[in-house]
Amino acid sequence: MPLATRVTSDRPSKPAGRPIPFARAVLAVAVAILSQVAVAYAQERTTPKDAPPGQRPKLTTDTGRPVGTDQHSLTAGPEGPTLLEHFYLLEKLARFDRERIPERVVHARGAGARGEFVSYADHSARTRAAFLSAKGKTTPVFARFSTVVLPKGSADTARDVRGFAVKFYTEEGNYDLVGNDIPVFFIRDAIKFPDLVHSLKPSPVTNVQEAERFFDFFSALPETTHMLTFLFSDQGTPASFRQMDGFGVNTFKWVNDKGDVHYIKYRWKSDQGVKTLTDEEAKVMGGKEPASLTKDLYDALKAGIYPSWELQVQALRPDELNKLDFDALDATKVWPESIVAFKPIGKMTIRKGPDNFFEETEQVAFNTGAYVPGIEPSEDRLLQGRNFSYSDTQRYRLGTNYQQLPINRPIDPVHNVNQEGLADHMMRKGDINYSPSTRQPEAPVEDKRALISATPLKGPVQYSAVKDPKDYDQAGERIRGMNSTDRDHLIHNLTGEMRKVKNREVVVRQIANFTRADADFGRRLAEANGVDFEKVKKTINASVAASR
Ligand code: HEM
């Protein structure tokens, strides 16, 4: 049993003590040689060998047995039925039958690629994250750009948010920065996320995405207004993954060695600039080449054009959060750059598409709960929910041991007693699967550096809305900050979808939300949708009265 020998041979050896009698020494040498042979044998059995150069490898079954024919089933006589005995045929069909795994519940369609991140400087004054501890420090990354709502086979060109997820393979474990191409989000509390996604996904009756359903939801939830000014601008239809910025959206914490905390927000600034399509261009492009954004990325990489992004952060000390006149941890808001400037941190360059789409892009599992020492979640209510949801869905989508898949494995070995479950292939050694143990002197040790910072709390345990939600202010500022073309496109793109909504009350309520952001914009939107603006004003008055 080579495997068993391997297991026992790697147990911790006893420390040297009294002189060993000759017979025991011979026995020890023999055991050592035998165990080396067994290890070599086990490795030979488990490490795939390539055919010698110039020779084609032999076709094999999944157990490694050479295959006699890949063209014909084994049948009972020339005209008889196929025999159950044809194991290779059964294996081939059974594997095919199981090729699909559940697609991501959101962000199902995406393009992934490898590259690296280089830190501009030693950022240890703000964070003890090792990958940011020196100028020029280089960390391998895997990035995945995605659409959110529609399934894996849908078009890249749909009006949608784009995911911008980056996995850093650092020496202190993987750090996942799972962002979007829009700096804010629809909602501020994780409890609304399933409702948001249900309203945007195809109807459970018709299997068609319906404006009737998502505007019903958006119009009833004014906090979505700011996000809609991005989604329905041309930013909702990016021209390419290379030409879009990324944002962490949520607020995170950076903590240095002394325990000083900064609340931070991330931005990836594209060195290629930002390029968007008009609604019409996106529709034409979607007809001609539905995979246009994916192809653009891979064509560029093949041509040796490597896109890059600068990572930037905004940082505030805990006592500075009240510089902002809204809840700083509300994901429907940006931190105005006039108050908190972005500082450059480092650069990511993407260099290579995947060798295998399924094994890399499909099986990569990003997770907002994957932090490294020096980076922590903030108390942001949306982020707190996300920190549960990603690993939970990945256990369902990829299985309990999804972190052992090559694309998800950290670069340094994992040491803990977590084990077993479907497809566990850590090849652990020894019988100590509990902690603490006095039998394992070199057991992994805890690292106090990895403890998180202490957060002072006050007040009762409660269910409550954020104070002073200010749902319309930043939406209004954004609308007023647009040039006239962008504002016209926002009206045009919104109207294109709102015209499909049969329930006019929903349309009036949605226009009322935009009017509360900017009265002139609301009036123009009402006109474009054939809505009497007096009705909009009445709706606003009623909602203001109800909220008193
Ligand atoms: C409470 C709010 C949210 C929840 C519960 C949630 C949940 C999820 C889930 C379940 C997935 C699928 C993951 C997988 O199957 O591997 C996902 C993917 C993703 N989410 Fe969220 N999400 C939330 C908010 C956000 C926000 C605010 C952002 C942007 C900052 C975001 C960005 C992404 C991205 C980029 C992906 C795709 C990752 C990939 O490429 O594999 N999500 N989300």
In a domain, 433, yes or no: no
| pLDDT over 70 percentage in the chain | 91
Ligand 1 proximity of 175 Cβ (cutoff 6 Å): no
Q: Can you tell me the distance from the alpha carbon of 95 to that of 124, in angstroms, rounded to the nearest whole number?
A: 49
**How many CB atoms within 10 Å of residue 399?**
16
Ligand 1 proximity of 238 Cβ (cutoff 6 Å): no
Looking at the fold, whether 307 and 392 belong to one and the same domain comes out as: yes
Residue 531 lies in domain = 473-547
Looking at the fold, whether 364 and 506 belong to one and the same domain comes out as: no
Pocket perturbation via mutation, ligand 1, pick of 145, 368, 379, 386 by most ligand atoms within 8 A of CB: 386
Q: Which of 375, 397, 412 is at the close of a domain? A: 412
Looking at the fold, whether 169 and 288 belong to one and the same domain comes out as: yes
Instruction: Take residue 245 and report the two structure tokens written for it.
Output: 């910025």
| pLDDT for 17 | 37
Q: Which of 394, 412, 430 is at the close of a domain? A: 412
Ligand 1 proximity of 165 Cβ (cutoff 6 Å): yes
Of the candidates 210, 275, 216, which has an alpha carbon nearest to the alpha carbon of residue 241? 275
Pocket perturbation via mutation, ligand 1, pick of 101, 142, 390, 397 by most ligand atoms within 8 A of CB: 390
In a domain, 374, yes or no: yes
Active site residues per annotation: 107, 180
pLDDT exceeds cutoff 60 at 37: no
Looking at the fold, whether 170 and 308 belong to one and the same domain comes out as: yes
Looking at the fold, whether 402 and 540 belong to one and the same domain comes out as: no
> By mean pLDDT, which of 39-53, 60-74, 143-157, 527-541 is the weakest?
39-53
Name the domain count of the chain. 2
Q: Which pTM value belongs to this model? A: 0.91
Q: Which ligand 1 atom is the nearest neighbour of the CA of 249?
A: 30
Looking at the fold, whether 273 and 389 belong to one and the same domain comes out as: yes
Centre of ligand 1 from the C-alpha of residue 122, in Å: 30
Looking at the fold, whether 251 and 324 belong to one and the same domain comes out as: yes
Looking at the fold, whether 371 and 289 belong to one and the same domain comes out as: yes
Looking at the fold, whether 347 and 494 belong to one and the same domain comes out as: no
pLDDT in tens, 181-207: 999 999 999 999 999 999 999 999 999
In a domain, 39, yes or no: no
In a domain, 10, yes or no: no
Contacts of 239 (CB under 8 A, 6+ apart): 275, 276, 277, 293
Of the candidates 431, 330, 385, 337, which has an alpha carbon nearest to the alpha carbon of residue 190? 385
Q: Can you tell me the distance from the alpha carbon of 106 to that of 97, in angstroms, rounded to the nearest whole number?
A: 24
The protein residue with its alpha carbon nearest to ligand 1, atom 6, reads 386
Q: Which ligand 1 atom is the nearest neighbour of the CA of 105?
A: 12
CATH of the domain at 349: 2.40.180.10
Q: 493 or 35: which carries more pLDDT confidence? A: 493
How many angstroms from the chain centroid is the CA of residue 371?
Answer: 13
Centre of ligand 1 from the C-alpha of residue 106, in Å: 7
Centre of ligand 1 from the C-alpha of residue 358, in Å: 19
Q: For the chain, how far is it from start to end, CA to CA, in angstroms? A: 77
Q: Which of 367, 389, 412 is at the close of a domain? A: 412
Looking at the fold, whether 246 and 163 belong to one and the same domain comes out as: yes
Ligand 1 proximity of 113 Cβ (cutoff 6 Å): no
Pocket perturbation via mutation, ligand 1, pick of 103, 104, 329 by most ligand atoms within 8 A of CB: 104
Ligand 1 proximity of 336 Cβ (cutoff 6 Å): no
Confidence of residue 544 (pLDDT cuts 50, 70, 90): very high
The protein residue with its alpha carbon nearest to ligand 1, atom 3, reads 386
3-state class (DSSP) for residue 205: coil
pLDDT in tens, 289-347: 999 999 999 999 999 999 999 999 999 999 999 999 999 999 999 999 999 999 999 99
